[in-house]
Chain A
Amino acid sequence: MANNHLLIEEWLLSASSLTPEEHQLLQEHLKSCEACRLFSEAWQEVEYRLKASPMRAPEPGFIDRWQLRLAEDRLKLQRRQTISTLAFGGAAALVLLIVLGVWALPLLRDPLPYLMLWSYQLITTFYMLSGVGQALGTVARTLFGLVPGTLWVALLVALGSLGVIWIVTFRKLTSPRRVIL
């Protein structure tokens, strides 16, 4: 026991309390061993310094400075997001341009067959649309001839009333007092 400095060191530094026997042995050892006594005194001083040192507070206005920093951080984040969105959009546009370039290369070399094809498609579409227009006109003229004028007025009034009822109902249902989030 007399030379067991490691055990003494262990006891001195241990946060848990010693038994009365251990405490007595420790005290006896410290009386006879100068090295362990010096160590014990040094450790007592460390403990005193650590425990006596107060909790430091920040300078006044910490919250204001933190809020400012938070605002700056948000701004930085927004900038970063904008830059990344722009970069992504730019990259996508570049890829699109390259694809279009590859696709349009034969057209640029010999444009005549493509121009003729497009002209043919344009004319065909025009004729098809005019045919549809004529058919619709014929149907409308036939309907006007069959249905009397008073029925048309009644139909318009009924549709108008339904529209008003729909708008009023929609406004009432979506008013802030009725919306529960």
Chain B
Amino acid sequence: MQETDLSWLASAQKGNMAAFTQMVETFQRPVFNLCYRMLGDAAEAEDAAQETFLRAYRSIKRYDNSRPFPTWLMSIAAHYCIDQIRKRRMNIVPIEDLGYMELSDETPGPEQSLGRSEEQRMVHGLLNELTPVDRAAVVMYYWYDFSYEEIAEALSLTESAVKSRLHRARRDLAKMIMDQRGEVQSMKRAAHGEQSPAY
């Protein structure tokens, strides 16, 4: 964090509302992105990001200055999103639907181009197949360049647990791509009237 951010943080801890608003301004994008990658839907991500900042605001006075602020904030966001995903799953949504829920990206701007939208959809499809904690670890590792130690701190895990979760997640993601490619090959064969080797 920069010097100015630290001074805003110190000021926010003393109850300065303008300083906290400045912190929201600074961290809105990373917090929103984490929520978006976790939940896969812009509206839900907006709600989660706002809830994250509300929770941070309520407990800013109890924030331990020895911890890095971004890690603390991301920890709040990740735990909230994990809870939301678990609640969503408790509502007995078929697991197959989760990967493809709310995949349309209606945000205006350059990101709405077809190729990018398709790419986003594929990334969501991949991430949504992971468990919520594994997903959080992957997002923190690839989008935020968090170290194993920082991820462990944010997700209340040990470093070795983070390493093993990331390894498992990478393997699962690679296998998903292999499966997708296999399906595409089968579809191509079927389209050309060929029989699957299994038959």
The interface of chain A, by Cβ under 8 A from chain B, is 9-10, 13, 15, 38-39, 42-43, 45-46, 49-59, 62-63, 65-67, 69-70, 73
How many Cβ-Cβ contacts under 8 Å join chain A to chain B? 92
Instruction: Find out whether the CB atom of A39 lies under 8 angstroms from the CB atom of B46.
Output: no
Given contacts A13-B170, A63-B21, A66-B50, contact A45 B36 (CB under 8 A): no
Q: Does B14 contact A (CB under 8 A)?
A: no
| Neighbour of B178 across the interface among A42, A49, A63, A66, CB < 8 A | A42
Interface SS of chain B:
helix
Given A43-B174, A46-B177, 14 additional A-B pairs, CB 8 A: A10-B167, A38-B178, A39-B175, A46-B176, A51-B142, A55-B29, A56-B36, A56-B42, A56-B107, A57-B28, A59-B42, A62-B50, A63-B21, A66-B28
Closest to B148 in A: A15
Query: Would you give 21 A-B contacts (Cβ < 8 Å), ordered by A?
Result: A13-B170, A13-B174, A38-B181, A43-B170, A43-B174, A46-B177, A49-B126, A50-B123, A50-B142, A50-B143, A51-B142, A52-B119, A55-B29, A56-B32, A56-B45, A56-B111, A58-B28, A58-B45, A59-B42, A59-B107, A69-B50
Given known pairs A13-B170, A46-B126, the reply for A39 and B21 (CB within 8 Å) is: no
Verify A63–B138 contact, CB threshold 8 A: no
Closest 6 CB pairs of A and B: A42-B177, A43-B174, A58-B32, A42-B174, A50-B142, A46-B173
Task: Tell me the complex Cα distance, A55–B21, Å.
Answer: 21
Q: What A residues does B45 contact at CB under 8 A?
A: 56, 58
- Classify chain B: how many residues form its interface, as a range: 35 or more
B11-30, CB < 8 A from A: 21, 24-25, 28-30
Distance between Cα atoms of A45 and B45 in the complex (Å) = 26
Question: In the complex the two chains form, what is the Cα distance from A73 to B143 in whole Å?
Answer: 31
Kindly state whether residue B57 has any CB partner on chain A within 8 Å.
Answer: yes
B29, A58: Cβ atoms under 8 Å? yes
Q: List, in ascending order, chain B residues with CB within 8 A of A70's CB.
A: 54, 57
